[in-house]
Amino acid sequence: MSSTFAAIPFNKPYLAGPETKYIEEAVRSGKISGDGLFTKRCHQFFEQQLGFTKVLLTTSCTDALEMAALLLDLQPGDEVIVPSYTFVSTPNAFVLRGAKIVFADSTAENPNLDPATLESLITPRTRAVVPVHYAGIACDMDAIGAVATKHGLAVVEDAAQAIDSFYKGQALGTIGELAAFSFHETKNIIAGEGGMLAINDPRYAQRAEIIREKGTNRSSFFRGEVDKYGWVDVGSSFLPSDIVAAFLYAQLEHMGDIQARRKAIWQRYYDAFVPLAAQGVSLPHLPEYATNNGHMFYLVCRSLDERTALINALKQRQILPVFHYLSLHTSPFYTDKHDGRALPWADHYTDCLVRLPLYYELYPELQQRVVDGVLEFYASL
């Protein structure tokens, strides 16, 4: 059916305009390794325009999470609480340090970590909790923060999807001691592969620079604070080439436009699908403390069968929706390490959540094809 239409992909990376010009500038500047001119511009953008205390670009969000795990000085056997419904990098960063992952369930309202169950997961070995702001929608940070403070846990935000989103007016990624962002091509603001660590607790600032620079104090050296640099700690190479930063800076300059477009597309979906709630389909739930950053539009179907049928019906129309995470507590790597607790909401989203195409160039006539496809599927049930 409708094979004369071009396919509507799930995602299409958007070029804001000056990306290649800035890359050329970076190359011509003669310094294309890390922490060049464009990296500094990106850092300034977050620190001066968005109010972050300190940020460091990394080669991915995965790397930023691995830096966070190093900064927390986790020891083998330490425990870290992570939602089961998330990307593998969220727990994997801590597993690399020998930590034990204790998986938390999602809430009934949305896939975010359920703070009501948090306290029951804490043991004397618990060191950190990692809320993931799913779809860029804030977790309940006051509730999570209260438990973390009471038990002396660090809060590391997985803010991979959460750029330009807020919790009670506070930017996501500025709330926990540390936060990790992604600029992977599937996110709102992209650099191909790229990420950033936000350091909100100044105690971690100096060591973060050292860990990112192979365990050396090279950053202090470049600022003229020491007269030679050397090996002072553990570390790795977490900083991106300035070519990546040049691409990213072009995107950051156009963030307002990109965000306005994405939020408009999100709202059009939302308004069109409100009537489906009567058929038991759930729309994204935005708690009153959270904003929407237009990262993702999803529906939660009533069953796995219904979701499979919806995806197939849309594929027949050359539209490519996708499901999302598979509960990590039942993953091949973790199932025999998990403590056996059932996590029914994580499993529910694993089976029933479907993401619809959402990208800058999803123009209204294209989006209408998606809307019609979904509405006609539900009308046919």
Ligand X SMILES: *Cc1c(COP(=O)(O)O)cnc(C)c1O
Which residues contact ligand X by CB under 6 A? 60-62, 86-87, 89-90, 132, 158, 160-161, 182, 184, 195
d(CA 304, CA 308): 6
Cβ-proximal residues to 167 (8 Å cutoff; 6+ apart), any chain: 138, 139, 141, 175, 289, 290
- The answer to whether 258 and 252 are in contact (CB under 8 A) is no
Cβ proximity to ligand X, 226 vs 286, nearer residue: 286
Cβ proximity to ligand X, 89 vs 291, nearer residue: 89
Cβ proximity to ligand X, 360 vs 378, nearer residue: 360
Cβ proximity to ligand X, 158 vs 347, nearer residue: 158
Cβ proximity to ligand X, 60 vs 350, nearer residue: 60
Shortest Cβ distance from residue 86 to ligand X (Å)? Answer: 5
Shortest Cβ distance from residue 157 to ligand X (Å)? Answer: 10
- The answer to whether 154 and 127 are in contact (CB under 8 A) is yes
- 375-381 — which CB contacts under 8 Å span 24+ positions? 375/272, 375/273, 375/276, 376/313, 377/309, 377/310, 377/313, 377/314, 378/276, 378/279, 378/281, 381/279, 381/306
d(CA 9, CA 286): 26
Shortest Cβ distance from residue 112 to ligand X (Å)? Answer: 11
Cβ proximity to ligand X, 132 vs 210, nearer residue: 132
Shortest Cβ distance from residue 152 to ligand X (Å)? Answer: 25
d(CA 176, CA 144): 10
Shortest Cβ distance from residue 222 to ligand X (Å)? Answer: 26
Q: CA angle, 116 as apex, 80 and 304 as ends, to 5°? A: 85
Helices (H), the chain: 19-28, 37-44, 61-71, 89-95, 141-151, 205-212, 218-222, 242-253, 255-273, 304-316, 344-352, 364-379
Cβ proximity to ligand X, 184 vs 317, nearer residue: 184
One-character DSSP codes across 305-344: HHHHHHHHHHHHTTB--B-----GGGSTTTTTTS-----H
Shortest Cβ distance from residue 161 to ligand X (Å)? Answer: 5
Shortest Cβ distance from residue 60 to ligand X (Å)? Answer: 3
Shortest Cβ distance from residue 316 to ligand X (Å)? Answer: 28
Cβ proximity to ligand X, 63 vs 306, nearer residue: 63
